[in-house]
Amino acid sequence: MTNEIKALAERIDTLETRLAYQDDTIETLNQTITAQWKQIDALARKIAELGERLQEAETNAPGPANERPPHY
């Protein structure tokens, strides 16, 4: 029975070690995803801001946008 108990103890130790590594990996991935989400959110806001600025610039632009230059 002692060999059986040792084998079970080793299996439990192995599983606990794997679980610890998995917990660490999950936490690292969570931090990475959180940082990426913040970056994506900031970029989306910047794109929206640039779209608004472009629309405003097009509205305030003098003359039609498709007008040929005078040298044609």
- For residue 34, give its domain range: 25-51
Predicted pLDDT of residue 61: 76
Q: Look at the chain and report how many structural domains it folds into.
A: 1
Please indicate, yes or no, if residue 45 is contained in any of the structural domains. yes
Question: Does residue 35 sit within a domain?
Answer: yes
pLDDT for residue 63: 66
So what's the pLDDT on residue 59? 86
1 falls within a domain: no
pLDDT tens-digit series, residues 8-54: 999 999 999 999 999 999 999 999 999 999 999 999 999 999 999 99
The whole-number pLDDT of residue 60 equals: 84
* pLDDT of amino acid 72: 64
pLDDT for residue 28: 98
DSSP the chain: -HHHHHHHHHHHHHHHHHHHHHHHHHHHHHHHHHHHHHHHHHHHHHHHHHHHHHHHHHHHSSS-TTPPPTT-
